[in-house]
Structure formats: C-alpha cells, structure tokens
Amino acid sequence: MHPVVFNLPFIDWPLRFFGLFIVDAFFFSTLWLQWAWLSRTNPAFGARWKGFHPMRAAIAVAVLVRVGILALPLDWGIRLGAVFLADVLAMIWARVQMGRALDEAGKQESEFVFSLAFWLLIVGFVGSRLFWIATTPAGQKDFGERPLHALFAIWEGGIVYYGGLLCAAGFGAWWLWVKKGKGILDFGDYVMAGVAFTLFIGRWACFSAGCDYGHETDQAWGMVFEPLPGGIDRNSLIPAAVQGHSPIHPTQLYMSLNGLLIFLICSLVLRVRRFPGQVTWLFFLLYPLGRSLVEFYRADTERGIYEIAGASLSTSQIISIPVFLAAAVLYLRGWLRSRRIREE
C-alpha cells in the first residue's frame, strides 16, 4: 500500500496515511458524538433537524465513497487520498451546519464532549501500546532492546486495539463519574456508539499501512498488496513473498465493516433503549464476536498465537472471552432490572 503521502518540507518528516486516517477517525466520530449528545440533551438543537440531518448525510458520504473507491482502477495512493478528502469535506459541512444551531449552553456541552474524546484518544494510544508490549513477542523484544522507542514509536505500528479500548473505557468511566455522576451510563452509551464509528474509519489506517493483513485466498474479493517503489516500507508489514503475487483477505476492511455494523446497530438501539448502559454492554457483546471471527482470517501471527484446549487462539480472541462474558452478565442484569421497574 502507500503508507507515506509525502515528506514535510524542511524537517523531512513523513506524513503517513496511517496517521491521517487516525486523525480522521477521531474528528469524525467526535463530531458524531457531539451531534448525537446535543440532540439528546438540547431540545431546540434536536428539533432543528427534523426531516433533514446533515450528520447522517456526512456518514452516508463516508460509507458510499469507500464502497465506490474500491471499484475504481486507480493507484491506491489516489484512492486513499480521495477517501480522506471526502471525509474532511463531509465533516466540515456537517460541523458548519451544527455550529449554526448551537446556543451558549450547547457550545459548552460540545466542548465537554471534545475534551473527553481527546483524552480518550491519548489514553487509548497509551493503553494500546502497553498491551502491545505486554502481549506480543515483538513488543517484548523491542522493549527489552529500546524501551523508549517501544513506548512511543506508534508511527511504526505496534498497537493492540483491545488494550486501547479497555484502558480508554476505564478512564472514560472515571472521567464521567467525576463530571456527570450518576449519568455515566447514559452518556457512555453515546460514547460507545461513537467508538464503533471510530473503528469503521480508523481501520482504514491499518489498510493503508498493510498491517493486520490476512491469509492468502482465492475469493473474488481477495486483494493483492503491491510492494512499494524502492523496496518494502517498514510500515508495510505484509511478507515480501506475498506482496504483489498472491491475493489475501483484506482483514483490515473486514474489521472496518464490523465497526460500521456495530455502529448502525448501536445507533438504532439508542432510539429504543430500555435502560442506561444497554448500548455500552451491547457494544462489548458485539465487538468480541466480530473481532474473533475476523481473527480466523488474519495471517500476522507475530502478534501472538496460543494453543489452548487444542485450539489456536490469538491474543485478541483470548481477551474477547472474558469481555463477552462480563458484558453478557451486565446486559442481562440491566435488562432484568428495567423489566422489574416497568412491572412495578
């Protein structure tokens, strides 16, 4: 793929598609979270968009551009650039529309949402890096040889999404408890729907860099990842024997699609939820299932594969088991409690 867009002038710092899509995912999902939460808490803001919803239009653009761009016979650098540009233009348009309807109270709530999202991003990156060091042989080797490099060099890959998700969830719960008190699960439902949308866009970062790649396949949708001019870039982690020769499962796009499906389901449940926390626990039910399924098609075994009870499980599949079970218990508990309250 094309991880490097160009080198910044004077400082010769490579600008990578990986970083662009991470930034893209952060701003787009934060914008959605601001919009959804203000529609929930500010009646005047919510009433403004009956019959016309710019945020939904922006999301539709993000989805349709990705679908269309996969079918175009263009250089991948051009395709990825077109996707990123379409996202930026859609965000700008939706943000301008939102700004026209914000009153002073809405602006303050919007700033609170952005502050929370910013710190979730920072904590998420730290957590994902620490999990990479703790759970992968490559991370442990790098930490033993170059500790500071292992901790901070995220631009070279080496993040475990589950680590970022769990650490950010814990930090977010503490932050909301301090700021919102008992409203933690109510607001948390919107946050987790936004996290699912972050997955949809953010996984294109992995696709652009070539990490999280899949097994070879003869399926019609298999993709051949061409080697970069001048050799294999350090961020293009697909083995040289496969690059340019064999179609492989685009597991990065599978995980992106998984995020989109979870986002759509969570968005629908937000409208009819029966108890605070329903969407939060639903996310932690759905994500482990989709992630574990995609793991069977991934070929980057260096992240850690373990034999347990005769089955080969990846690190993410092992983590998925307790996450799913805990979410199932909490979802059932919330559902039964809400049912009892309705009966009373």
pLDDT-above-70 percentage for the chain = 85
Q: How far apart, in whole angstroms, are the C-alpha atoms of residue 311 and residue 206?
A: 27
Write out pLDDT tens, residues 110-126.
888 888 888 888 888 88
pLDDT of residue 129: 82
| pLDDT reading at 166 higher than 60 | yes
pLDDT of residue 229: 55
pLDDT of residue 173: 84
Q: Which amino acid is at 304?
A: G
Write the DSSP symbol of residue 8: E
Q: Averaged over 12-27, what is the pLDDT?
A: 82
Q: Averaged over 224-244, what is the pLDDT?
A: 60
3-state secondary structure of 5: strand
Q: How far apart, in whole angstroms, are the C-alpha atoms of residue 222 and residue 172?
A: 38
| pLDDT reading at 278 higher than 50 | yes
Q: How far apart, in whole angstroms, are the C-alpha atoms of residue 46 and residue 23?
A: 27
| pLDDT reading at 1 higher than 60 | no
pLDDT of residue 197: 95
Mean pLDDT of the chain: 83
**How far lies 205's CA from each of 25, 66, 81, 107, 126, in Å?**
9, 13, 12, 31, 18
pLDDT of residue 155: 59
Listed in sequence order, the residues at least 6 apart from 129 whose beta carbon sits closer than 8 Å to its beta carbon are 150, 151, 152, 154, 158, 159, 163
pLDDT of residue 101: 77
3-state secondary structure of 306: strand
pLDDT of residue 12: 64
pTM of the model: 0.86
Contact (CB, 8 A) for 46 and 40: yes
Contact (CB, 8 A) for 115 and 121: no
- Residue in the structure block whose two tokens are 């769990």: 166
| pLDDT reading at 248 higher than 80 | yes
In the structure, what pLDDT confidence band is assigned to residue 109 with cuts at 50, 70 and 90?
confident
DSSP 44-62: HHHHTTTT--HHHHHHHHH
Q: Buried (b) or exposed (e) across 156-188, using 16+ Cβ within 10 A?
A: bbbbbbbbbbbbbbebbeebbeeeeeeebbbbb
- Among 17-26, 48-57, 151-160, where is mean pLDDT lowest? 151-160
In the structure, what pLDDT confidence band is assigned to residue 135 with cuts at 50, 70 and 90?
confident
Q: How many CB atoms lie within 10 A of CB 247?
A: 17
In the structure, what pLDDT confidence band is assigned to residue 235 with cuts at 50, 70 and 90?
very low
Q: Which of 281, 91, 321 has its CA nearest to residue 192?
A: 281
- Among 10-14, 19-23, 260-264, where is mean pLDDT lowest? 10-14
3-state secondary structure of 27: helix
Q: Averaged over 97-107, what is the pLDDT?
A: 77
Q: Buried (b) or exposed (e) across 52-91, using 16+ Cβ within 10 A?
A: ebbbeebbebbeebbeebeeeeeebbebbbbbbebbeebb
**Higher-confidence residue: 240 or 163?**
163
- Among 200-214, 229-243, 244-258, 286-300, where is mean pLDDT lowest? 229-243
Q: How many CB atoms lie within 10 A of CB 18?
A: 26
Domains in the chain: boundaries: 4-343
pLDDT of residue 115: 86
pLDDT of residue 233: 46
Write out pLDDT tens, residues 210-233.
778 888 888 888 888 776 654 444
Q: How far apart, in whole angstroms, are the C-alpha atoms of residue 10 and residue 281?
A: 48
DSSP 232-294: --TT--S-TTTTTTS-B--HHHHHHHHHHHHHHHHHHHHHH-SSTTHHHHHHHHHHHHHHHHH
Write out pLDDT tens, residues 35-53.
998 888 887 777 777 767 8
Write out pLDDT tens, residues 314-338.
888 888 999 999 999 999 999 998 8
In the structure, what pLDDT confidence band is assigned to residue 65 with cuts at 50, 70 and 90?
very high
